Amino acid sequence: MDYDLIVIGGGPAGYVGAIRAAQLGKKVVCIEMERAGGTCLNWGCIPTKALLKSAEIKQLLGHVTDYGLSIEGEVKFDFAKIMGRSRTVSDKMAGGIEYLFKSKKVDYVVGKAQIQSPADGAIKKVVVKDAAGKEQVLTGKAILIATGAKARHLPGVNVDGEKVLTSREALATKVLPKSIIILGAGAIGCEFAYFFNAFGAKVTIIEMLPQILPVEDAEVADLLKKSFIKTGIEVLVDTKVEKTEVTGKGVKMTITGGKTLEADHLLVSIGIEANLDGLLGAGLKLDLDRGYLKTNDRYETSIKGIYGAGDIIGPPWLAHVASHEAVEAVEGLFVKGKKPHKVVNFPGCTYCQPQVASIGITEKKAKEQNLKFKVGKFPYRASGKAVAAGDPEGFVKLIIGEPHGEILGAHIIGADATELIAELGLAITLEATTDEISTTIHAHPTLAEMIHEASLAAEGKPIHI
């Protein structure tokens, strides 16, 4: 046997799980088909944040006069350099993961892995084929599958990387689209809508559900929609696509009501599907749940000794959740007495401007569950720090359980929302109440004071509204 653990996939679940196992003194190998960091680091979370920062700066420069400054002439940009910086950031971070593997004594193999294990309980065997077709066989006590997910395609429409894109192709483009239709208004769709619009593209975003960011609180989604419309983005909700065709000029779509839309490009962001292609050798079968790996309370699949973590085991499809699941799976496997737990509370973040972040249940969910609750809400426009920084758009909204005052949900839209949400995640973990938050002194002036004020608002005693 070569290894205590063979990890297949080098994304946020795979590389974190591999490093944690190594920290526990185990001999580990991590197999990645492309490059360490997986989709998140190379084609998702990290490169998109680099692009969004460029968009944010571009928009800020557009109204520097508000800050008493001036710029002579038009703010110019080099779109190819913007995209190039994004790739440079990803390359740097991927190199960082490779360094971590080396320093933690994790073996790293690049290639396509296929599990060819014998019966349950036997030594696990994985065959790895590199880009040149050369094969090597690795054996181990256990396998952690962390192969993630890939973009779901629109049926009947070929992703050609030119007129029809997924987020991956969008991250590789060197030319700014003059016009683009974005199908799907989840986090990916909204982030790209903000990015392309910031640099002057004509953007139309389509969502079949009643609101953009369908998993978020309705008030948050409504404010983001209004903000998008104000910046020139066309937002269509409750809208279904009836027909899509690729033309010589671009893409033509027929939507609800027979209306026709045309654009140079189409970005498909309608969700993801499990990446299981070629993973299992002949005679091997793993139980699935809606197309994703089915795992038990120890993250073990239907084959003993084979585990799963991250996007491959289903929603929520978030990098930080994937990392947490991988650590739980590895510690459950190698730490005596450790009982892994499934993720219940987790933050969700969307990095357009204004930013959106949330944790726990929405107001709608609280009503559907017939919970006794109250709402504490505080607007950015009443925050001295937000107004001084020129970021008065947004609010903090807390869903508070009664009669004890525990945090059931937290929803933030506005500047640095994705940073502010961490305090509320900790509050939920510690089962803190609004009384404990409101009696905790928050520094002034900070955006974090709004959490303090929202807690006071829930008790009917806000100071600044």
What are the DSSP calls for 288-321, one per residue?
Answer: EETTEE---TTSB-SSTTEEE-SGGG-S---HHH
Residue 247, number of CB atoms within 10 A of its CB:
9
Q: Which residues contact 95 (CB under 8 A, 6 or more apart)?
A: none
CA distance 346 to 350: 14
Q: Which residues pair with 145 in a beta bridge?
A: 8, 308
- Rounded to 5°, angle at Cα 52 from 51 and 55: 95
CA distance 341 to 363: 26
411 is catalytic: no
Asked if residue 440 lies in contact with residue 430, where contact means CB atoms within 8 angstroms, the answer is no
Q: Rounded to the nearest 10 degrees, how much is the dihedral formed by the CA atoms of 34, 38, 39, 42?
A: -80
Give residue 427's region: left, alpha or beta (phi > 0; psi -120 to 50). alpha
In terms of Cα–Cα distance, which of 9, 318, 83 is closest to 188?
A: 318
Write down the catalytic residue from 63, 341, 404, 444. Answer: 444
What residues are annotated to the active site? 444
